[in-house]
Amino acid sequence: DIDLSTTSIGQRLMPLQEPEESALLEWVVKTTAEHDSSLIPTLAISLWLAPYGFLAFVFLECLVFSTEGRRFLLVVFVTIALAQPRDRSKQVWSMAFWYLSIFTIALMALYLQAIFIFLMALSVALPLDIIGKYGDQVGNWIADKSKNYFALETILEDEDALSKLSQNGVGTIFAMEPHDILSFGCFAFHPFLKMLPPGNMRDSFKCLVSSAIMNTPILRHIMWWMCCDSVEKSVFRGHLQQKTSIVFVPGGMQEVTLMDPSKTEELVLYLRHRKGFIKIALELGTPIVPVFTFGLDGSYAYHVPRGEMILRLSRTMGFLPVFFWGRWGVPLGIPRPQQITVVVGKPIEVPYLGDNISREDVDKYHSIYIEKLEALFEQHKAGKELYCDRKLKIL
């Protein structure tokens, strides 16, 4: 193998048992950032990923040390915040009732002098783009510093194919794996980093995350600045209809429940029953691009609760109540500054079928996606610590 850190083109000989295909596969190393986990990049990562822990600790502090009135108000607020209507544009009356509830909570928080609850209520009520271009500038700064914190390396297996899609203004689905504790590898697609070819694909791009994150006070605005949006089906389809390319993790939080640090010989992905994005791609004729992220494993140590009740609870809330710790051993803190490599595979062309989609069509392209993802992992795992001796296990 050629050392990918010193060349712009990586080359790998194809297996001899496949003579009908090209004997040489080439890919482009788009960016290789210098590793820098000093103060400024650490502050950027903290602004982006530390609010998880901050909000959790403040929530616990309020539950334990606040008055009964404040505790009750906090529980009511959290319940209403997580239960807000998923499609704000259509559920008008539900949204009106939800905003009235949030406004009432804010007034009660002021009366009880619960300033933190008031600020959280204000955060979930304010529009995501409340500070306009200044929010975009904060997101650009976070993405730029995160690139160095993780020594980001991005590899495009077929830049020409992606360039054609981008120039033609075609909305594209980038299906990224694995999820791990937090799927922060998606930041590599941030438009400011210019990983993707010029055109519509790079300029209008969204990373789709759990709706629970986009409903969480404070965090929802930070994620919006990082070009994130909810992964709800209506939002998913809406972005593609507007020719906006998206990246998301099909395995989702289900993969977190399957993580086991004692099984170092395999990497489990939950994909066999994740076919909804395939159906939407066939409905709209949207290309699908397999993406694999190396380097997430080991960024956090963790304890994952098990059991059917936990799974049901996580599906209801939209996130898994997992305990993790990263750099310096800080609970729910920032990840360790290890290198992240994002490998973008070749686009899978998907036909436009509209409403005439059969189960066989979905199964066919779902199998193609899994096959291409597995090939992506096998072709690029060499030399990757914690990955080179592992096999994918698809559930």
Decide: pTM greater than 0.85. Answer: yes
Tens of pLDDT, residue by residue over 265-292, are 899 999 999 999 999 999 999 999 999 9
Q: In the prediction, which pLDDT does 188 show?
A: 94
Whether residue 9 has pLDDT greater than 80: no
Whether residue 368 has pLDDT greater than 90: yes
Whether residue 319 has pLDDT greater than 70: no
- The answer to whether the beta carbons of residues 36 and 19 sit under 8 Å apart is no
Q: In the prediction, which pLDDT does 265 show?
A: 87
Name the 3-class secondary structure at 40. Answer: helix
Q: In the prediction, which pLDDT does 21 show?
A: 41
In DSSP notation, 123-137 reads: HHHS-TTTTTHHHHH
Query: Residues in the chain, how many?
Result: 395
196: nearest Cα among 384, 337, 31, 14: 31
Instruction: Round to whole Å and give the CA distance between 111 and 63.
Output: 18
Whether residue 2 has pLDDT greater than 80: no
Helix (H) or strand (E) holding 316: helix 308-317
**312: Cβ–Cβ under 8 A, 6 or more apart, which residues?**
none
Instruction: Round to whole Å and give the CA distance between 105 and 112.
Output: 10
- Find tokens 């997992």 and name the residue: 322
Whether residue 234 has pLDDT greater than 80: yes
Q: In the prediction, which pLDDT does 276 show?
A: 94
- Across the range 257-265, mean pLDDT stands at 84
Confidence band (pLDDT; 50, 70, 90) for 81? confident
Instruction: Round to whole Å and give the CA distance between 351 and 370.
Output: 18
Looking at the DSSP bridge assignments, the partners of residue 228 are 207
Confidence band (pLDDT; 50, 70, 90) for 316? low
Whether residue 180 has pLDDT greater than 80: yes
Q: In the prediction, which pLDDT does 1 show?
A: 39
Instruction: Round to whole Å and give the CA distance between 331 and 301.
Output: 9
Indicate left, alpha or beta for 137 from its phi (over 0: left) and psi (-120 to 50: alpha).
alpha
